[in-house]
Amino acid sequence: MNQNINNIAVLTSGGDAPGMNACIRAVVRTGIFNGANMFGVKQGYQGLIDDNIIPMDARSVSNIIHLGGTILKTARCKPFMTEEGMQTAYNNLKARNIDGLVVIGGDGTFTGAKIFSEKFGVKVMGVPGTIDNDLFGSDFTLGYDTAMNTVIEAIDKIRDTADAHDRLFFIEVMGRDSGCIALRSGIASGAEAVLLPEKQTSIDELVNQLEIGALTKKSSSIVIVAEGHKAGGAYDIAKKVKERFNHYDTKVTILGHLQRGGSPSSADRILGSRLGFAAVNELFKGTTAAMVGLRGNDVKVTSLDEALTEHSFKLEDDLLEMTKVLSI
């Protein structure tokens, strides 16, 4: 262990994700177990600038593992991306002799951490926390499993009313640049079609697929739309389809921020605990400017530079093929 690390702070930044509290708990208790003083930063990088930094002990993180959101709150902070903002943040860390920082978030969070580490020599470890599951270096990110379960539960309920009324539902899920949620929820819920940012699906193709379903006497249809699809959001696509295919009564549901909330699944509680534990131990080893992630069933370390520059998550070919084969 690197005994130069005596004081560690943890923050959550960007969008919240279920499992963040489990990770905070693991970070705080792992640090304390190894003799470090622990601090929590409220509202992400904004808290570093505002000096909103609080000491934390083992009881500070009691009874939070089951909670969604983040007890440290989160915020997006443009001032942190300026030289002046980072200098203020660094001064506040140095005033408390904080020599290690764990940041939980997505690519925006890691971009800030990378620059901060390079400019000021701050020892930083990242934990991938985003429901989009779109960070290189980890098979799964914090919050993704819970978000998937939330989406599937909602679709199952919508399917009941769609079937009762011979309806066609367009359901929009989160995923501006990544179709992970849309693809897997489509498979798990038995959707008739899935529209993804990574794969161009024309209105012609979609209408043709829905017409085949109608001819084979499907009583309802569900189309999952990732919010970043190039043809537009669910409302735009539903309007275009309705102009050409009016077999069903057409409805649109936007799941929105419902996908971010809720008690984390067991998978996210365990993932958050594993990655928080690993992040602190890596700091003690002297690792910095890196991210801990899950590959296979092992925790691996990826540099922040690689995590950001290799920012592509390839969707599984078999799942893409299944969206057509299983929807007939």
Please identify every residue annotated as catalytic: 132
Q: What is the DSSP string of 224-276?
A: EEETT-TT--HHHHHHHHHTT--SSEEEEEE-GGGGG-SPPPHHHHHHHHHHH
Residue 172 Rama label (left phi>0; alpha psi -120 to 50; beta): beta
Which token pair is 229?
């699809």
Count the neighbouring beta carbons within 10 Å of the beta carbon of residue 7: 17
Strand 298-303 and strand 290-295: the pairing is antiparallel
Three-state SS for 150?
helix
Separation between Cα atoms, residue 222 and residue 190, nearest integer Å = 8
Rounded to 5 degrees, what are φ and ψ at 166? 55, 55
Residues contacting residue 246 through CB under 8 Å, at least 6 positions apart: none
Element (H, E) at 184: helix 180-189
| Nearest CA-CA partner of 251 in 212, 214, 225 | 225
Q: How many CA atoms lie within 13 A of 272 on its CB side?
A: 38
Amino acid code (one letter) for 125 = M
